[in-house]
Amino acid sequence: MKKIFFIISTVLLLAGTAHAHGSISKLPDSVQILQYKMKLHMNVNDMDVRNSLAMAYFRTGKFAEAKKELEVVLEKDASNFDALDGMGIVLIKMGKNEEAFSFFEQAEAINPKDVLLHVHRAVNYKNLRKPKLAEEEMTKVRSLANESESKEIDQEIVLLTSSLS
């Protein structure tokens, strides 16, 4: 049994790491959730993995679970940029735009040049019925983004504005 656990653990560790809103592999998010949980079982204090688990939950529409994971990260590190930004997008999908706003403010204080943060803020402003501020954020996006990021920006907007089926 220990040998099987070791083999599974090794495979999971070699699967790679994730970006703030990326994924551990090309596997479906439901499988990634299992991978991240296994990694956390081995190291409960790995906040990068916990952030990645939260984003996998986010992508599968499990917003309460994503929020719970991000709360753990922020409890340990209140200035974790990925968790602050992640909490903002989770709250947007939960319809809590006023609450999301404060997380984006905190994230921007840490990294004001993050392109996707400004996309998230633009969507947040749009949801708060502040079109002028939303457009100002999109102006920042255009000034910060390079040409290759435009597809990623469009995908992020779709992700935040679409409803899950």
Contacts of 82 (CB under 8 A, 6+ apart): 20, 48, 51, 73
CA distance 48 to 18: 8
Contact indicator for 120, 85 with CB cutoff of 8 Å: yes
How many residues are there in the chain? 165
Contact indicator for 84, 106 with CB cutoff of 8 Å: yes
Sign of CA dihedral 102, 51, 94, 59: positive
Regarding pTM above 0.75, the answer is: yes
Q: What is the pLDDT of residues 107-124, one digit of tens each?
A: 999 999 999 999 999 999
- Compute the mean pLDDT over every residue in the chain, rounded to the nearest whole number: 86
CA distance 31 to 86: 20
Q: 19: pLDDT confidence band, cut at 50, 70 and 90?
A: very low
Ramachandran angles phi, psi of 135, nearest 5°? -65, -40
Q: What is the pLDDT of residues 54-89, one digit of tens each?
A: 999 999 999 999 999 999 999 999 999 999 999 999
CA distance 162 to 165: 9
Contact indicator for 66, 89 with CB cutoff of 8 Å: no
The two tokens of residue 150 are 């435009």
